[in-house]
Copies of this chain bind each other. A is one copy, B any other.
Amino acid sequence: MNAHILDIRIYYEDTDAGGIVYHSNFLNFAERARCELLREVGYECSKIEQDLGFLFVVKHADIEYIKPARLDDALQVKTTLESMRNSSFQMRQIVQKDGQDLCNMLITLVCVETNEIKPVRFPDILREKLNHYAESKE
């Protein structure tokens, strides 16, 4: 099991008048987790575009809301690599509370050249590093 884990605390800003975390914020939590995963393997978000001339763009998101999260909850975002192609990859991102799934997301990211905004193959070193987060399937 090679999931990247990010701890998230829920504050007032994350909640809505229904008393629960506003549904779009789970995408924010997922993006924070991907950002930390990339930092962990040496690719800081603000540096990628600047230094390498490409960036990762969210192309598709599939989100299943299972249970609500609430103020003061201590959550975990578990991120694994689902699949990888030439210029894109998919991340499975599950938000949990006490080991129970609250939200299950499948996020597709595309690598695009900064100037041309067209998909490009991303570096092999990064590919190897992302593979570290692939769920081992024996």
Contact = CB atoms under 8 A, between A and B. Distances in A.
Interface stretch (A26-34, A76-84, A93-101, A128-136): A26-34
Contacts of A36: 9
Contact of A65 (B32, B44, B60, B62): B60
A86 interface: no
A27 B23 contact: yes
A32 B11 contact: yes
A78 to B, nearest CB: 18
Interface in A21-75: 22-25, 27-28, 31-32, 35-36, 39, 44-47, 49, 55, 57-65, 70-72
A87 interface: no
A113 to B, nearest CB: 14
A100 B22 CA distance: 28
Interface residues of A, number: 39
Instruction: Please report whether the interface of chain A is mostly helix, strand, loop or mixed according to DSSP.
Output: mixed
Contacts of A13: 16, 22, 24, 28, 31-32
Interface of A: 9, 11-13, 15-20, 22-25, 27-28, 31-32, 35-36, 39, 44-47, 49, 55, 57-65, 70-72
11 contacts: A9-B32, A12-B35, A13-B16, A15-B17, A16-B17, A17-B17, A18-B49, A24-B28, A57-B65, A59-B64, A60-B64
